[in-house]
Amino acid sequence: MTRVFLILIAGLMTLVAACAPAPDGTTNGGKVYRVRNADKVQLRMLDSVNALRQAAGKPAVSLNPQLTAAAATHSRDMSVQNRPWHFGSDGSSPLDRVSRAGFTGAMIGETISETYESELQTLTAWMENQATRSVIMDPKAANMGFSWFQESNGKIWWTLVMGS
């Protein structure tokens, strides 16, 4: 009986250790996704978002430089604050940031993430959540801003902003 109990405890400890963060902070066995070909990341995301929108009968969106600037600013700011949330360290809201960046359309929404995963894995997670999915799939959206900030340890702060 004691032997069975010890085997069960050892198995449980192995499971817990597998879920614990690796020394570099990741939870995927120490593998860190590094953003490479940064000039192609935005286009991959745009193509993926538009493929999802097309499949759902929604109109395509275009990359917007002002929304992308607002997304880049917020990604870096989330890293500085070390927390994923929609408010800037200066108290700014997503509306404030897109206005400051010079976007004159209506902002539809902002999706954010703190991960060690790629942009497509992040998009998949956003699509599995009803709140973020509704921002990405909003039929009024015509413009998209998308950016990220990657820390030296590999953590990536993603921001996607949709506007009309």
| pLDDT at 109 exceeding the cut of 60 | yes
33 versus 82: which is more confidently predicted?
A: 82
Q: In whole angstroms, how far apart are CA 109 and each of 122, 162, 163?
A: 16, 5, 7
Q: Coil, strand, or helix at residue 20? A: coil
| 156-163 β-sheet, strand order | 62-63, 143-150, 156-163, 107-115
d(CA 8, CA 79): 40
Read off the pLDDT of each residue in 121-138 and give the average, rounded to a whole number.
Answer: 97
Q: In the predicted model, is pLDDT for residue 132 greater than 90?
A: yes
Instruction: List the one residue out of 136, 131, 140, 119 whose CA is nearest residue 40.
Output: 119
Q: How far apart are CA 92 and CA 79, in angstroms?
A: 15
Given this model, what pLDDT does residue 43 score? 94
Average pLDDT over residues 104-116: 95
Q: Is the pLDDT of residue 19 over 70?
A: no
One-letter amino acid for residue 67 of the chain:
L
152's CB contacts (< 8 A; 6+ apart) are none
Q: Which tokens hold the place of 161? A: 């902003």
Q: What is the pLDDT of residue 65?
A: 97
* Domain boundaries along the sequence of the chain: 63-163
CA distance 150 to 159: 12
Q: What is the tens place of the pLDDT at every residue in 43-62?
A: 999 999 999 999 999 999 99
Superfamily of domain 63-163: CAP (3.40.33.10)
For range 12-35, the mean pLDDT: 46
* Residue 137 scores a pLDDT above 70: yes
